Amino acid sequence: MHRTFKWPELLTDNGKGIAYGGDYNPDQWSEDVWDDDVRLMKQAGVNTVAVAIFSWDRIQPEENRWDFGWLDRIIDKLGKAGIAVDLASATATAPLWLYEKHPEVLPQDKFGHPVNAGSRQSWSPTSPVFKEYALTLCRKLAERYGTNPYVTAWHMGNEYGWNNRYDYSDNALNAFRLWCERKYGTIENLNKAWGTTFWGQEMNGFHEVLIPRFMGADSMVNPGQKLDFERFGNDMLLDFYKAERDAIAEICPDKPFTTNFMVSTDQCCMDYADWAEEVDFVSNDHYFHEGESHIDELFCSDALMDSLALGKPWYVMEHSTSAVQWKPLNARKRKGETVRDSIAHMAMGADAINFFQWRASAFGAESFHSALVPHAGEDTKLFRQVCELGAALKTLGDAGVQGTELEQSDTVILFSAESEWATRSETLPSMKLNHWHDVRDWYRAFLNAGTRADIVPLKYDWSAYKTVVLPTVIMLSAEDTQRLADFAAAGGRVVIGYAT
């Protein structure tokens, strides 16, 4: 069951409007830049920013020393300028002193190597030590900012699973064994589900359950074991998110909680149908696909987001004003595409348009990633587009677009995270199966035919549609099979794709 929908208010007279802004990292800059940031934000029409996403080391520079002064000052500057703050739990990356003192919090890859600190999410979600430090930070933030009128929402973590989706540490192994015991009850049930009589892998107890670590260059992983490890990883990170959320909610229950999903048709690493139940409003980070599929791919990803939000408004937490810096070739957006893409997201149900990030970094891994304020500053074509977009969003907000919902189609394409995970197995008749890409191809086919289909998670209710499409739905439970049979018997049309 979903949590009650709760949307963050803006610092406008009535709290309403289209949210516009992005990630703001003032701790990357000296304080003499902050006033100029606020000036330019007001010029561009920015009314909300996400703050402190990677700031744990600035907030807690040493284990027994806390520094909130800089965060107090920037939140106050923003709030007095009418810019709401979406405050992060700051747990996406830990300070180096924590890793130095507790190297056991690091995740491991399948070869047994530690995933070392220095990037993002270098922590094991099943580490009790890391969780203790993270929840202490959450409580400190809630105690200090829970009643701050300028903080209107909580941004938990950041892109959970980005670097720790697969953890092969001993912490993970022990947690996986407990997860399997809860799921299957008896080792006999688990042996049957995984078919462990093949290759003589029967287990005598849950203490013999393994995670799919490296088994040799040419070895094939048991597909049942691999799929359950995918499910487990999803659940462990979701449990970590809920622990962070609940630690803050015990102190500050009244402000809405979210975390940014990662849904585009080249990634959908979590079962976001589960995650959507645990946020107060749904958020997504979407980065464009250059080329002829650009706008179709955007609509496809957004169609799934609209379903995850149950038709309620949702947040674009990140997208880019132009090029990113993490692809082999990073194409810029062409003239007008920054505004067009933003309005397209709104057309698909978004009531918040945010970017990574406010000011382009002067250094670090993302210094070539585009931003609202480019390296060349305000007297640029890009910043003028940013201002144009801010004015357009204000016009749409004043016209009452906020809160409107997308009209339901007659046709639905069913999406299954488990089928997506299963098609990654290397033991299938074809290694070219890809459930999520097949969803995208069906979605584009309907657009080409002059109509629009919705995309709904298989586990949701889709009985009100006239036609359902199953694209490479390689995993179907007996319950879902019966739902499809009943739907067809009641006069519905069911289109079965290959490998379903």
Residue 217's pLDDT is 87
Active site residue 337: no
Structure tokens at 367: 């210094």
Handedness of CA 456, 461, 465, 466 (dihedral sign): positive
With beta carbons less than 8 A apart as the criterion, state whether 112 and 213 touch. Answer: yes
Rounded to whole angstroms, the Cα distance separating 79 from 150 reads 5
The residue assigned the tokens 């409007």 is 17
Last residue of a domain, one of 377, 398, 419: 398
The residue assigned the tokens 């739902």 is 483
> Is 436 a domain residue?
yes
Same domain as 299, residue 439: no
Same domain as 65, residue 193: no
Active site residue 159: yes
Same domain as 309, residue 161: yes
CATH number of residue 468's parent domain: 3.40.50.880
Last residue of a domain, one of 148, 180, 210: 210
Angle ∠(16,18,377) on CA atoms, nearest 5:
130
The letter for the amino acid at 407 is E
**For 25, what's the count of Cα atoms within 13 Å in the CB-facing half-sphere?**
21
Same domain as 139, residue 243: yes
Question: Which residues, in sequence order, are CB contacts of 368 under 8 Å at separation 6+?
Answer: 323, 325, 330
> Is 252 a domain residue?
yes
How many structural domains comprise the chain? Answer: 3
Residue 269's pLDDT is 86
Residue 266's pLDDT is 80
CATH number of residue 111's parent domain: 3.20.20.80
Same domain as 252, residue 143: yes
Same domain as 256, residue 189: no
> Is 124 a domain residue?
yes
Residuewise pLDDT in 10s, the chain (500 residues): 899 999 999 999 999 999 999 999 999 999 999 999 999 999 999 999 999 999 999 999 999 999 999 999 999 999 999 999 999 999 999 999 999 999 999 999 999 999 999 999 999 999 999 999 999 999 999 999 999 999 999 999 999 999 999 999 999 999 999 999 999 999 999 999 999 999 999 999 999 999 999 999 888 999 999 999 999 999 999 999 999 999 999 999 999 999 999 999 887 889 999 999 999 999 999 999 999 999 999 999 999 999 999 999 999 999 999 999 999 999 999 999 999 999 999 999 999 999 999 999 999 999 999 999 999 999 999 999 999 999 999 999 999 999 999 999 999 999 999 999 999 898 999 999 999 999 999 999 999 999 999 999 999 999 999 999 999 999 999 999 999 999 999 999 999 999 99
Same domain as 253, residue 121: yes
Last residue of a domain, one of 398, 426, 448: 398
> Is 447 a domain residue?
yes
Domain that holds residue 428: 411-496
> Is 288 a domain residue?
yes
Same domain as 74, residue 162: yes
Same domain as 319, residue 257: yes
The residue assigned the tokens 């919090």 is 105
> Is 183 a domain residue?
yes
Same domain as 72, residue 41: yes
* Closest CA relative to residue 157, chosen from 232, 257, 47: 257
> Is 404 a domain residue?
no
Rounded to whole angstroms, the Cα distance separating 388 from 371 reads 15
> Is 281 a domain residue?
yes
Residue 268's pLDDT is 84
Rounded to whole angstroms, the Cα distance separating 112 from 108 reads 6
Catalytically annotated residue among 318, 337, 418, 420: 318
Same domain as 348, residue 444: no
Same domain as 205, residue 274: no
